[in-house]
Amino acid sequence: MTSAVAVRARPAGTIRQAVAGHPVAAMLLMMFTVAFALLIPAALSGLPIEPFLLGTVLLAQLLPAVLVTGAVGGRPAVRELFGRVFRWRVRPRWYLLALLALPVASLAASAVVLGPGVLRTLAADPGYITAYLGILTILPLVNLWEETVWMGVIQARLAARHGLLLGAVMTAPLFGLMHLPLHIGQPAGQFIGGMALLMGLAIPLRIVIGWLYDRTGASILLVAALHATFNATNNNMSLVADAAPGAAHGRATLVSNMTWYVLAAWGLLLAGVLVRRRFRSVRG
């Protein structure tokens, strides 16, 4: 009886040891397997994908994050992870930066392109601001658990091993790849080009998020807030798109991508600072 129990227990211990020895690989394997199994059939069948996205948050992101973290450090590690998820005691300036930097900078840059009329458009109709705030309500449902995985488990471990900048660069294409099911149904050329562009553009986003995470003492809550404001400012029916109705096609396209330009500039600036800091430390 004892030997039979031991034989049955051995595989579980081996799996846990494998997960603990390779937490990032295990996290990615579980997450992509479950997420694609949920999202790709729904996308191919033409079903509304939103309910499957919510299921993905719980089953493909939060659950694997808890399992992998528990395999590495047991219950204390899981408690520490959730401590970072709800780490809210940070200086007010970091809240202002997470919640206002991208929308304010994107609207200011849009006003430079189209004139101050974009700001008058928003001021004239409070519905635009209300819609923007409505989009932010997805923070506790999606973005918080999304960043628990990407920043709290994957990028944080890569950054600890390879540095903040390289950790972000390594995380970005994987983060972009997670969005693959959302682009199913596009023509092949558009699909491949769009995915490649998304995986590349994710680099400045991950750099900025990694930097904010580092500066706020590992607050997943704050980086999730930044992620939420990025989505609300950038996506279709977003704050910036609402500010430029009726603009000429070329300018409208420029403005609709303004948040990406702002984020790219921010990310490049931070990358330059990090590279220079690394170079000085090597020389020193």
Q: Which of 69, 71, 64 is nearest to 80 (CA)?
A: 69
> Residue 2 pLDDT > 80, yes or no?
no
CB 262, CB 106: distance < 8 Å: yes
- Structural domain of residue 211, as residue ranges? 89-283
Pick 251 or 204 by higher pLDDT: 204
- Predicted confidence at residue 247, as pLDDT, reads 53
Gap between the Cα atoms of 279 and 214, Å rounded: 19
State the alpha helices, DSSP H only, in 125-219. Answer: 126-136, 144-149, 156-162, 164-177, 188-215
Pick 40 or 8 by higher pLDDT: 40
> Residue 36 pLDDT > 50, yes or no?
yes
On the CB side of 205, CA atoms within 13 Å amount to 26
Gap between the Cα atoms of 100 and 225, Å rounded: 10
Gap between the Cα atoms of 33 and 29, Å rounded: 6
Question: Is 50 a member of any domain?
Answer: no
Question: Is 66 a member of any domain?
Answer: no
Question: Is 63 a member of any domain?
Answer: no
Gap between the Cα atoms of 254 and 160, Å rounded: 37
Question: Is 279 a member of any domain?
Answer: yes
Q: Is 87 helix (H, G, I), strand (E, B) or coil?
A: coil
- Predicted confidence at residue 27, as pLDDT, reads 97
Question: Is 220 a member of any domain?
Answer: yes
Q: In this predicted model, what pLDDT tens digit does every residue of 61-107 receive, in sequence order?
A: 999 999 999 999 999 999 999 999 999 999 999 999 999 999 999 88
Question: Tokens in use for 173?
Answer: 């294409």
- Predicted confidence at residue 5, as pLDDT, reads 37
Instruction: Give this prediction's pTM.
Output: 0.89
- Predicted confidence at residue 241, as pLDDT, reads 65
Question: Tokens in use for 34?
Answer: 């479950």
Question: Is 206 a member of any domain?
Answer: yes
> Residue 7 pLDDT > 60, yes or no?
no
> Residue 194 pLDDT > 80, yes or no?
yes
Domain count within the chain: 1
> Residue 3 pLDDT > 50, yes or no?
no
Give the distance from CA 180 to its chain's centroid: 14
> Residue 165 pLDDT > 60, yes or no?
yes
Say how many Å lie between the first and final Cα of the chain, rounded.
Answer: 63
Question: Is 75 a member of any domain?
Answer: no
CB 146, CB 57: distance < 8 Å: yes
pLDDT, average across residues 28-40: 96
For 97, 180, 225, the CA distances from 50, given in Å and listed in that order, are 29, 15, 20
- Predicted confidence at residue 200, as pLDDT, reads 94
CB 135, CB 169: distance < 8 Å: no
CB 223, CB 98: distance < 8 Å: yes
State the pLDDT confidence band at 6, using cuts at 50, 70 and 90: very low
State the pLDDT confidence band at 282, using cuts at 50, 70 and 90: confident
Provide the mean pLDDT of the chain. 88
Q: Which of 259, 216, 252, 201 is nearest to 235 (CA)?
A: 259
User: Radius of gyration over alpha carbons of the chain, in Å?
Assistant: 21
Q: In this predicted model, what pLDDT tens digit does every residue of 233-273 receive, in sequence order?
A: 886 556 776 666 555 445 667 777 889 999 999 999 999 99
Gap between the Cα atoms of 4 and 140, Å rounded: 45
* Percentage of the chain exceeding pLDDT 90: 66
State the alpha helices, DSSP H only, in 22-162. Answer: 23-45, 50-56, 63-85, 92-114, 117-124, 126-136, 144-149, 156-162
Q: Is 64 exposed, middle or buried (0-12, 13-18, 19+ CB in 10 A)?
A: buried
